[in-house]
Amino acid sequence: MYGLFRIVFINNNDRRNYFLNQSLIISNKWLYFSFKTRPIFPHVNILDSNSEIKFSDTALTYLGNLGHAESNVVLNKILSILENQLNVNNKSVLKRSFICITELVQNIAEYNIIKSTSFPNTSIELKVESEKILISCWNKIEKGDEMSLTTIFNELDSLSRNELEIRYKKGLFSRKSLGLLMIKLLENSIFTWKIETVANENEYNWLKLELIINYGVIAH
């Protein structure tokens, strides 16, 4: 159970359940979030006025705004997919993988909440295949934030594993955010990032975060 509400997924086209003050409609394995603004992502076509999440047994795609409520829904379904697909006896593999994915998604949600964005601005894609978990996230960032974010990620990339572990231990005692450090320290994984600027756009750029976890290697 993740968050403050329970999500029930149904397959019958004639049935619909309404949650979160009727702002969320669940029908036939689709979740529809209503927004006034159409989201435009650098790697997908323009969507209709409803943001959406679509999933199968091995994949998930979410397009829309991402705050606390939406991240809870997305993470709930991601956990279900991982539990079904990670055919490993060591539950710590599932736990470590999901914790890092949670940190990735919630960091994006926290940024959006701080910025108080009112438009659909996040894309999340998850795939589980060939004993690998692949998750990529696109998110709008305000113009000017790319400089501070570049500094943060470049600094993380420059640290050795020993230096990352030292910072992580210091963070435990100082109660600092450990999300990115946890992701960088995850064994047999690759974490990448990039910032894509938008020509003739004065308000925002795009940040892409991608995490690939080879859970087959971890399990063996």
pLDDT at position 40: 44
pLDDT at position 157: 94
Output the tens digit of pLDDT for each of the chain's 220 residues. 233 333 333 333 322 222 332 233 333 333 333 333 334 445 544 344 456 888 899 999 999 888 888 899 999 999 999 998 887 767 888 899 999 999 999 999 999 888 876 556 899 999 999 889 999 999 999 888 989 999 999 999 999 999 999 988 887 776 666 788 999 999 899 999 999 987 777 778 899 999 999 987 655 4
pLDDT at position 118: 59
pLDDT at position 45: 43
Residues in a beta bridge with 142? 204
Q: What is the DSSP string of 97-159?
A: HHHHHHHHHHHHHHHHHHHT--S--EEEEEEEETTEEEEEEEEEEETTHHHHHHHHHHHHHHS
pLDDT at position 218: 55
Residues in a beta bridge with 17? 26
CA distance 70 to 189: 26
Q: Which domains does the chain have, with CATH numbers?
A: 17-219 (3.30.565.10)
pLDDT at position 21: 29
Contact 176, 168 (CB under 8 A): no
pLDDT at position 200: 74
